[in-house]
Structure 1
Amino acid sequence: MLNKEENANKNVIKYIIKYLPSQIVPAMVGIISILIITRLFPPGDYGNYVLVMASISVFSTLVGWLSMSIIRFYPIYKRDEKLEQFYANIIKLSIISIGIISFIFSTILLFTKSYIPSGLYFLMWIGVIIFILTSFFEILLDFLRVTSQMERL
């Protein structure tokens, strides 16, 4: 029994070591980019950047339920040999969820256009695109994590 626990602990440590760079690198890039952005751009432009990133973060949290679903239900579908159905469901739900949230984000932008400066308005539309891409990336990362494909990286 102790051997299984030791192996499990070793596997967890291996996964942490393999997964850690995917969290540390973006954090370091974020810190460095903040240093560069605050030196290159005036405070107003930096404020616009922060508003766009905060909006993306708020809407990204609404897609988080898909990640939990992937982690929760993957083993069950794998055990029942219904992975194709699982993948199809997750893809459909991802497209629907991200589409609805993007629609809401876009609608808010359209209704508030007269209150938002044109430069920020344009950046917010770029934020919609970044939200879509980031959300799909996170979902794919969850698939990678849950299928333990990190050993191949």
Structure 2
Amino acid sequence: MLKKFIKDIAKYSLSKLLPALTAFITTPILTSLFPPEEYGTWALALSVSSFMIALTVSGFGGAVIRFYPAYKAKSTLNTFFSTIFITTSAITIFIAGAGLFFSVSFREFLPSALIEFLPLIIAIFIAQSVFVIYMAVLRAREKSGVFTTFQLLLNYGGLGLGLVLVIFFDFRVDGLLLGTLLTLLLIVPILFYVATKGTKVKARYFKMQDAFHIMDYALPLTIGNVAMWGLRLSDLFIINFFYT
């Protein structure tokens, strides 16, 4: 048991450690390709998407890890996956729509670049919402190696594809965002298949009572994550305000 625990910790650590180390290489490349204003726009766009993730499904990641073993023990994983999928999809669509409405209604108070890239930001948010949920499933199933593989595919694939678009096809910040989106679109279907293999995700297995039970657990986690990402996002807006 201890040996497996240590091996899992080592594998999970790679998904955080390798991107952090790679940043020492990629950051100088990005700052040489983009002036500070464009680099800041890219960072702000990713932060907005991350904030929306925190607002939408971050708490459900913890809920997946909490409830998966119980549903597995009762052989009701069809209900679990169907309920999670429908619930998070509905919330994601609602938040995406609310984000669009908010951006249009208050566009004069928001950076123009943020409005320009809003469709890409919303698309990344939707795809990454699915990614977050089913990565949590891999953790619940103790698939540490598979988890790390998908995480590194997203980190390196998104940035690598984005840099290809920027360097060889004359894209700018939109190229980096498009690289992330295309990578998500490529790996999310595979992730969904791997995470739900052997189960059926269908509307008839959805249970409203289970959805409310899961949301009761997820809500406090979501509030904490929103507070954390909100602070990070507000810092970027404050810096942008004083810089301009």
Query: TM-score, normalization: structure 1?
Result: 0.82
1:5 corresponds in structure 2 to: none
**Correspondence list, 1:72-83, <5 A:** 72-83=66-77
1:43 corresponds in structure 2 to: 36
Mapped pair 1:113 → 2:119: no
1:23-68 C-alpha deviation (Å, 9 max, x unpaired): 2333345554332222221121122112212211211112211111
1:50-100 C-alpha deviation (Å, 9 max, x unpaired): 221221121111221111110111111111111110010111112012112
Structure 2 distance, partners of 1:107, 1:51, is 19
8 Å contact 2:12–2:145 — kept in the other structure?
no
Structure 2 distance, partners of 1:145, 1:128, is 26
* Aligned-residue identity in percent: 30
Mapped pair 1:19 → 2:9: no
Mapped pair 1:52 → 2:45: yes
Give the CA deviation at 1:20.
Answer: 2.2
Structure 1 distance, partners of 2:92, 2:19, is 22
**Correspondence list, 1:3-152, <5 A:** 8-62=1-55, 63-116=57-110, 118-150=112-144
Unaligned ranges ≥5, structure 1:
1-7
2:153 corresponds in structure 1 to: none
1:111–1:26 distance in 2 versus 1, CA, 3 Å = farther
Quick one: which amino acid aligns to residue 58 of structure 2?
G
1:75–1:132 distance in 2 versus 1, CA, 3 Å = same
Unaligned ranges ≥5, structure 2:
150-244
The farther-off stretch of 83-92 and 113-122 is 113-122
Structure 2 distance, partners of 1:111, 1:31, is 39
2:196 corresponds in structure 1 to: none
RMSD of the TM alignment (CA)?
2.1
Aligned residues: 146
1:4 corresponds in structure 2 to: none
Structure 2 distance, partners of 1:46, 1:122, is 15
Quick one: which amino acid aligns to residue 54 of structure 2?
T
Structure 1 distance, partners of 2:90, 2:21, is 33
1:42–1:131 distance in 2 versus 1, CA, 3 Å = same
Structure 2 distance, partners of 1:120, 1:34, is 21
1:127–1:151 distance in 2 versus 1, CA, 3 Å = closer
Query: TM-score, normalization: structure 2?
Result: 0.54
Structure 1 distance, partners of 2:63, 2:11, is 23
Structure 1 distance, partners of 2:15, 2:25, is 16
Structure 1 distance, partners of 2:48, 2:9, is 30
Give the CA deviation at 1:125.
Answer: 2.3
